[in-house]
Amino acid sequence: MGKCKIGIVGFGTVGTGIYKILRSEVDLHPILKEIEIAKIVVNDVNKKREINFENNLLIDDPNILINDPSIDVIVEVMGGIEIAKDIIMKSLKAGKSVVTANKAVIARYGSEIYETAAKQGVYVLSEAAVCGGIPIIEPLKRSLKSNHIKKMIGIINGTTNFILSKMTNEKADYKKTLELAQNLGYAEFDPTADVEGHDAADKISILSELAFGGKINRDSISTEGISQINLKDIEYANKLGFEIKLLALSERNHINKNDSLALNIWVGPSLISKSHPLATVEGVNNALLIEAHPLGEIMLYGPGAGSGPTAASVVSDILSLHANTMKNNASIDPLLSFNFWRNCHIIDSSQITKKNYLRIICIDSPGVIGKIGDVFGINDVSIESIVQLDASADKAEIVVITHEVSNGSFEKSKEEINALNEVEIIASQLSCI
């Protein structure tokens, strides 16, 4: 069997993991020995690294790989957006297949990238871009293709789940735990993408395109992160029988008269009942619950970030490419590649109904709970529970959990509650599953 020559762009957390797998002496399938690393592109060839390289393996110009006709596959694991996109596009145009872990690029430029790959008769595979080591892209492309997918809901960012787990279990400090996640190689180069929910929004956008077949306008995904969550919310949620998790949801709604599939997609910190399967997902682990017909419900679970797990996903994509091109007269496999087959759009958040959690700080005066309850009642917002959880000096903290109500009515109630004389501030608002 022939060799598959690859060029790797990026040798950080993920790149190092790829190198270790490909140089590993453990008992793996013999096809791995056919993968040959031609060169590795880094920013700074003189940087001190944990690995001693054979001669001249490191270079700093990706064009050397792109222009080398002997290289079959470019592996993009450098991160960033515009430069990485440029390298991916140039590689495809040079007739090379690409493996990438870059969700930020695929979520924004997937359509252009998939189209170029199809035109050039090559592939772009991105298993590592979503949920690190969990096989999720391949199942959506192939194993689940005979199912009508209704809904996906999951924890799809490792850094934020790591932080929330430590805040919940150890009352850990948010900032220090984020630093720890960075040191462990979980966080993005700019961790704002993780903590503000943008990384999860990139990922749910990619998953939605694969599951529902239409291009998603990434910028219209309603996105909230965890930077405003404090230990008090976690404590109150726990008292009421919930965990707080950063969730991403994507769900079919209706098909409009232009035959476009309306989707409800959002990312946000949410209260989730302790009995829900996602509530037990701890640390850097991710999980995605998929509701499909006729399959029913499945949950894919495992490490969502980190060097080894993510690298394993990258290497499995390289193997898929190699195995595919080994076939005689191999033409493009329509399932391994990806093309849109319909139009999709995201529904306006005012049309969505959900359960909500609200923490209100107010003056501890008689009748305040009744007044808050009245505002919700007038606006047709049904309440599941309303409790006073803390009273110190003259202040009281009131926590409300609503039933599933329209966003419009809920927002109107919030405005009116804010205007009550007794109310100091609405300290936090979260979704509730």
With binding defined as CB under 6 A, does residue 159 bind ligand HSE? yes
With binding defined as CB under 6 A, does residue 195 bind ligand NAP? no
Q: How far apart are CA 8 and CA 19, in angstroms?
A: 9
Q: Which helix (H) or strand (E) holds 209?
A: helix 198-212
With binding defined as CB under 6 A, does residue 44 bind ligand NAP? yes
Q: Which of 5, 103, 166, 203 is catalytic?
A: 203
Q: How far apart are CA 61 and CA 40, in angstroms?
A: 9
Find tokens 């979260």 and name the residue. 430
Does a cis peptide bond (omega within 30 degrees of 0) precede residue 294? yes
Q: Which of 304, 311, 354, 358 binds ligand HSE (CB under 6 A)?
A: 304
Q: What is the closest distance, in whole angstroms, from the C-beta atom of residue 411 to ligand HSE in the complex?
A: 30
Find tokens 């797990």 and name the residue. 309
128 vs 288, which CB is nearer to ligand NAP? 128
With binding defined as CB under 6 A, does residue 158 bind ligand HSE? yes
- Please give the DSSP secondary-structure letter assigned to residue 143: I
Q: How far apart are CA 189 and CA 245, in angstroms?
A: 22
Q: What is the closest distance, in whole angstroms, from the C-beta atom of residue 191 to ligand HSE in the complex?
A: 8
Q: Which residues between 317 and 356 bind ligand NAP (CB under 6 A)?
A: none
Contact partner at residue 243 from ligand HSE, ligand NAP, none, CB < 5 to 8 Å by partner kind:
none
Q: How far apart are CA 406 and CA 416, in angstroms?
A: 16
With binding defined as CB under 6 A, does residue 194 bind ligand HSE? yes
With binding defined as CB under 6 A, does residue 303 bind ligand HSE? no
141 assigned to active site:
no
With binding defined as CB under 6 A, does residue 72 bind ligand HSE? no
Tokens of 328: 């005689």
Q: Which of 127, 188, 194, 317 binds ligand NAP (CB under 6 A)?
A: 188
311 vs 360, which CB is nearer to ligand HSE? 311
With binding defined as CB under 6 A, does residue 124 bind ligand NAP? no
- Please give the DSSP secondary-structure letter assigned to residue 131: S
Q: Which residues between 81 and 120 bind ligand NAP (CB under 6 A)?
A: 83, 101-102
110, 208 contact by CB (below 8 A): no
> Closest Cα partner for 239 from 399, 406, 107, 430?
399
* Residue 77: strand pairing partners: none
> Closest Cα partner for 157 from 108, 211, 190, 197?
197
Using alpha carbons, list the distances in angstroms from residue 364 to 105, 357, 373.
50, 20, 15
271 vs 311, which CB is nearer to ligand NAP? 311
Contact residues: ligand NAP, CB under 6 A: 10-15, 41-44, 47, 77-80, 83, 101-102, 128, 132, 185-186, 188-189, 305-306, 310
Which positions are catalytic? 203
Contact residues: ligand HSE, CB under 6 A: 132, 157-159, 186-188, 194, 199, 304-305
